[in-house]
Amino acid sequence: MTTGFQKALDRVTRVRGVRGAMLVAGDDGLVVAESLMEGVRGNALAALAASLAKRFRRASETAACGLPQFIHLQASQGSLLAAPAPSGMLLVVVAEADINVGLARLEMLKAGEAIA
């Protein structure tokens, strides 16, 4: 199972501009598997990204838009991408500012299906 998670992360980290990826337990905000560059605090990122995704889900449901499928947070020096996986996990990616978001999104959704 752990190898499956790692394969899913490898698929995403191969995309140019991805600085790291991690699988997070959606409800708990704990790290399940990670492949991050040095200097990124995995546990902090997991907890905060899961909290953010939870709030987005609430906002999206309140707006009658259904469940969020992909979250893209664009910051001044990079991007944070998140895709809820069907298994209840959250796939989180830290990326460069100039990443090809469409390609990253595609690979993240495929990776999410692979770990379902």
3-state helix, strand, coil in the chain (%, to 5): 40, 30, 30
Helix (H) or strand (E) holding 59: helix 42-62
Count of residues interacting with another protein (CB under 8 A): 14
- Interface residue with another protein among 10, 37, 40, 51 (CB under 8 A) is 51
Output DSSP code: residue 16. Answer: T
CA end-to-end distance (rounded Å), the chain: 11
- Interface residue with another protein among 47, 57, 87, 109 (CB under 8 A) is 47
Contact 85, 115 (CB under 8 A): yes
Binding status of residue 25 toward another protein by CB under 8 A: yes
Closer to another protein by CB, 25 or 80: give it. 25
Closer to another protein by CB, 5 or 105: give it. 5
Q: Which residues bind another protein (CB under 8 A)?
A: 24-25, 27-30, 43-44, 46-48, 50-51, 54
